[in-house]
A and B are shown apart, each in its own frame.
Chain A
């Protein structure tokens, strides 16, 4: 392919990267698309539930784009910037229409309209879905459109290529990337006039999560070390019900509880009538009579029972296990649907099958073992945008502010020419993400901000002027890093170190975050960074070396972990998913602010930036709790 400029590099072929590629290629600018896996296998395929948008039916019941925005801000505990959320929710119906037109098989009503389901954080049915694999279906739709441009040579795919480092010119503008072929191990520079990072989340920092194995956050961390800032890295969403596995935690959807599933742990009442951990809690669940089943959510929250909000359920389950109530004394509780009528079990078929497939146990007969798991990163690369006032429509608030379409700054990081789209972007979700808003934010970033990228690239098509010596320096830096790992004579096993990092982070910085424990973890992470200097590869060959790729990413995960801890320790309040028992309330003064992490001379520095609330003033996030 001839190297015409302007051209754009997109790193990541999940929903965000594919949506961006689709739109940039359509605008006539060639795209080089990089991904560690064939883009059709990106993590976005895992999403099951759906994608939110105001729609004809909900609108007639009083719903609106404005309400969608309001719910999103309320859910996020008002930590996010409001104009991007305004723009996203107003684009949502058009995004669904486009996905529909490109052939995504959304479920249908009898009349042939798109079907809708209810989801957390809303009283309106505004979630569109395609069976139990909405993410997969959306991703395939966009993958197909990108393949169409690939067949016309407008998109050049680099699959099984790993992004290593951004190339910045003397003025600090991003002008390309250095990447490595994961098969031949060749390290090469690629020049472009704008670079879009769409590299997803960072669940692997916590060892096991509901995310895919390449979700290490290392691509974001590399940009961070090269000078891009991070926003709110401490905000990580924990889903209450996942199936713990040896290799990953698989999601067990909230609908199991919605349909009447009950959460319990084995227990015995002492002479005071107080529940105590069961002395023999590891025996087969069906051997516990009802009197030895402690339905702790129902007892603690008589009104909401098993359907308390996600973060509350998560904390309760976590606490019970810490008190020793977990199954077999471990970190698991039972989620039981075995008592439900057959018709209800049939409705849950799709998710129950996942459980059976991966545990070998039939959940219609035997209670499921579940535990909260890291699920989503609200934080990520820090980005900016340009805003403009809009005419509010009746029902909206007094002031409406959206984003200026096509403005080159939209979702650009502090590094000119470097953009962040999708889960790696810190925007939209603030303190917690509402279910089915992530797929929306990924596609929105890609479609809406593509014109920003194109405009920037066209106005700055100077990549070809780059000093070859500068490019060579970045390439050499990456080659040296590889050589250092290859030459290391240390004894530290990278997989062991990763397991320990995951255990430390999960224990210290997920559901309950105490200052003391986090400070301990920060020390531990720092000493792991020292240990990392002695890490030892078991494969030092230069052909399809996965050992090298993993170990390099581990170095980045150790840096990301430190950023998360620093920001979490400093945020002395509770907000959204960030729960501090020592500071149980949201404290707007001084924490109505983005945690801004900067990597300066090898040190991580925390600063804050105000988050204005121009449209919806913050209110207490109670969800009607009494």
Chain B
């Protein structure tokens, strides 16, 4: 093959290096695969092609790479991986863009790795249970009386709807956590996703009934004060969730809450 040809546009071969790990406790290793170039390939199509023919550049038959995905249109949040050092969705990352970054060649393969802030299950598939558990911690729901017919919800201005809608598009992908210097594999900090969702529920008229409970979580170790304001999160969020505003707002809500507690003596 054309392993040492650097101009992949001519040769129509792309090389991909995948960081693999067979089980949660085993050592990781890398394997290189080559694929025929086609225009408009996304990274998932490459993973699918490798799954169908799991043969490395050394011509070795290996097990197919395991990864997580579902919608293939950047709305389910499943397919997050680290590509060329940057955390992103493998469904909406186009190979052409990675080639334009100068990768995809034998000497500079496209590098695909699992996120580092979550336990690896296998290969690129990680366990993000913690993100969903954090939503429980902050009582991430609107505490309605029940499902009976009690008429419509509160009247809401278009501005308020827009603010909530922008927060509600968070697809629990974990990009913001992977990029965050404060969010650690085994640390307490809940990270930007949970802070954004805290604001989301606090902004709803009925959701605000549980505002104090949520702010108490945000006040503790691992809450909003653990954020170092580096703004990495907002730069990598694929859904453009206004995370910086959310962090600032929740920070203020916590301050007000703490002051109130001080004066009323309530905890």
Contact = CB atoms under 8 A, between A and B. Distances in A.
Interface of A: 22-23, 26, 37-38, 40-43, 45-46, 94, 96-98, 100-103, 105-114, 130-131, 133, 136-137, 140-141, 144-145, 147-148, 150-151, 183, 212-214, 245-248, 250, 354, 357-360, 447, 493, 495-496, 538-539, 541, 543-544, 546-547
Nearest to A543: B23
Interface string B121-158: 11001001000100110011111101101111101111
Contacts of B136: 147, 150-151
A358 B92 CA distance: 6
12 contacts: A101-B206, A102-B141, A102-B153, A131-B165, A133-B169, A144-B140, A144-B141, A246-B38, A246-B41, A246-B42, A360-B97, A544-B125
Given A111-B155, A493-B53, 16 more contacts: A23-B147, A41-B70, A41-B76, A41-B78, A46-B71, A97-B151, A98-B147, A102-B153, A108-B160, A140-B168, A147-B135, A151-B136, A183-B122, A447-B147, A538-B63, A543-B122
B54 A538 contact: yes
B147 A539 contact: no
B5 interface: no
Contacts of A245: 40, 42, 45, 72
Q: Which of A111, A150, A360 has the most chain B CB atoms inside 10 A of its CB?
A: A360
A102 B64 CA distance: 42
Interface string B79-104: 00000000000011010110000000
Interface in B54-76: 54, 61, 63-64, 66, 69-76
A96 B122 CA distance: 41
B41 A40 contact: no
B119 to A, nearest CB: 11
B77 interface: yes
B52 interface: yes
A185 B40 CA distance: 35
A41 B174 CA distance: 13
A112 B147 contact: no
B141 to A, nearest CB: 4
Contacts of B172: 38, 40-41
Interface in B11-70: 22-23, 38, 40-42, 44-45, 48, 51-54, 61, 63-64, 66, 69-70
Interface string B172-213: 100000000000000000000000000001001011000000
Contacts of A496: 52
A190 to B, nearest CB: 20
Given A106-B161, A544-B121, A148 B64 contact: no
Contact of B164 (A43, A98, A105, A359): A105
Nearest to B164: A105
B40 A359 contact: yes
Nearest to A111: B155
Contact of B147 (A22, A213, A354, A538): A22
B75 A136 contact: yes
B161 A107 contact: yes
Nearest to A145: B141
B217 interface: no
Given A97-B151, A101-B153, A105-B168, A544 B75 contact: no
Contacts of B44: 247
A485 to B, nearest CB: 14
A63 B36 CA distance: 55
B94 A360 contact: yes
A360 B91 CA distance: 13
B154 to A, nearest CB: 8
A141 to B, nearest CB: 8
B149 A137 contact: no
B165 A538 contact: no
Contacts, number: 188
- The contact size tier of chain B is 35 or more
B152 A40 contact: no
Contacts of B132: 38, 40, 147
A94 B152 CA distance: 8
B48 A247 contact: yes
A248 B73 contact: yes
A544 to B, nearest CB: 4
Contacts of A539: 63-64
A96 B152 CA distance: 8
A37 B76 contact: yes
Given A23-B147, A140-B168, A546-B64, A43 B70 contact: yes
Contacts of B201: 103
B149 A97 contact: yes
B75 A26 contact: no
Contacts of A151: 136, 139
A37 B70 CA distance: 8
Contacts of B54: 538
Contact of A358 (B42, B64, B125, B135): B42
A143 B147 CA distance: 14
The 7 closest A-B pairs by CB, nearest first: A495-B52, A100-B153, A144-B141, A103-B142, A112-B155, A246-B45, A544-B122
Q: Which of A42, A46, A496 has the most chain B CB atoms inside 10 A of its CB?
A: A46
Contacts of A214: 70
A496 B48 CA distance: 11
A357 B92 contact: yes
A27 B121 CA distance: 36
B143 A137 contact: no
Nearest to A39: B132
A46 B155 CA distance: 27
B121 A37 contact: no
Contact of B70 (A110, A144, A212, A359): A212
Given A102-B142, A112-B155, A112-B157, A247 B45 contact: yes
Contacts of B142: 101-103, 141, 144-145
Contacts of A246: 38, 40-42, 45, 48
A154 B132 CA distance: 17
A530 B227 CA distance: 59
A130 to B, nearest CB: 6
B52 A108 contact: no
Contacts of B72: 212-213, 245, 247-248, 250
Given A145-B141, A250-B73, A108 B158 contact: yes
A145 to B, nearest CB: 6
A203 to B, nearest CB: 12
Nearest to A23: B147
Contacts of B156: 108, 112
A97 B141 contact: no
Nearest to B168: A105
A37 B68 CA distance: 9
Q: Which of B38, B48, B92, B132 has the most chain A CB atoms inside 10 A of its CB?
A: B132
Q: Which of B42, B44, B92, B151 has the most chain A CB atoms inside 10 A of its CB?
A: B42
A45 B171 contact: yes
Given A97-B151, A103-B142, A358 B121 contact: no
B165 A100 contact: no
Nearest to A354: B73
B40 A360 contact: yes
A546 B157 CA distance: 46
B70 A147 contact: no
Contacts of A250: 72-73
Contact of B169 (A22, A43, A136): A136
B76 A109 contact: no
Nearest to A98: B147
B51 A547 contact: yes
Contacts of B64: 538-539, 546-547
B141 A45 contact: no
B152 A101 contact: yes
